[in-house]
Amino acid sequence: MKQTRTLIHILAISISVLWGTTFVSSKVLINHGLLPSQIMFLRFVLAYFCMLAIAGRRLFASSIKDEMLLAGLGLAGGSLYFMAENTALQLTQACNVAILISLTPLFTSLAAIIFYKNERITRFLVWGGLVALAGVVLVVFNGHFVLKLSLAGDILTLTASCLWVAYSIILKKLNNSGYSSAFITRKVFFYGIITILPFLFLDSAPFRFSVLTNFTVLGNLFYLGILASFIAYLSWNYVVKRLGIITSTNYLYLNPLATFITSAIVLHERITLVGLIGGAMILSGVYFSQLKS
């Protein structure tokens, strides 16, 4: 049992690191002319068809209420989350977005103890989370301490963070209702696709199908659709089911560290001593947050 729980923790770490690399992959696609809404639509379509292969028999939830909750998951963890985050990146600095979005584990912990009595915060989790958050700040700035407030962009980023909190809370409720992780994940992709369509129609630039002939574009789309969406969402929903909201969400502090390292490798961005210290603080904070009080 202890070995199984350890493997689930390793799975949570792997997903968090994987999601941290998606910012770089998305940036590559944007540089090739794809819009954020188009990227999200294509990755979720890929993920949805993969989910149909393993969880395509059951079509609907047991009640209209649960079906509406599943639609809420698709909005909170899909279309609205991605559009809020990507729009924020256009309105404010990337460092603002990275830091504010890293408040998600903190917000999630507070929401979890309000909605679910079996979720608890330990002193190690509090102090470890604060150390990890401080490390996030150092990693994001990476030796260049420039922070400019942008009200619209920063509010949108906080909105994205709150949307992921809502996703976690609704997910916990549906997990408690007996639905399988595969069924829930498939519905997330379905409603994510449906609710992103209005954004696609509102885009100023039409989709260019010719871009799909580019192997770099295809490779990154499959990476986002198969690994970062199909496998990662399915695995994450299972992790939350087994570890709880607070424990699993605290691993999201690893996202900026993964982005930091991937950017250095793929985009050749410079790594400074400040960034390395921040990375060590994130790892230490995440480690201590998982200790039992």
pLDDT tens for each residue of the chain, 293 residues long: 667 888 999 999 999 989 988 877 887 888 888 888 888 999 999 999 999 988 878 889 999 999 999 999 999 999 999 888 888 877 776 666 777 788 888 888 888 888 887 667 777 777 887 888 887 777 766 555 555 556 777 788 889 999 999 999 999 999 888 899 999 999 999 999 999 999 888 876 777 888 888 999 999 999 999 999 999 999 999 999 998 888 898 888 888 888 778 777 776 767 777 777 877 888 888 877 766 64
Range of the domain at 198: 2-289
Direct distance between the N- and C-terminal alpha carbons of the chain, in angstroms, rounded to an integer: 20
Domain count, the chain: 1
| Phi and psi torsions of 178, nearest 5° | 95, 5
**How far is it, in rounded angstroms, from Cα 93 to Cα 111?**
27
Q: What three-state secondary structure class fits 271?
A: coil
Amino acid type, 197: L
**In this structure, are residues 55 and 180 in contact, taking their beta carbons and an 8 Å threshold?**
yes
What six digits make up the tokens of 63?
């009640």
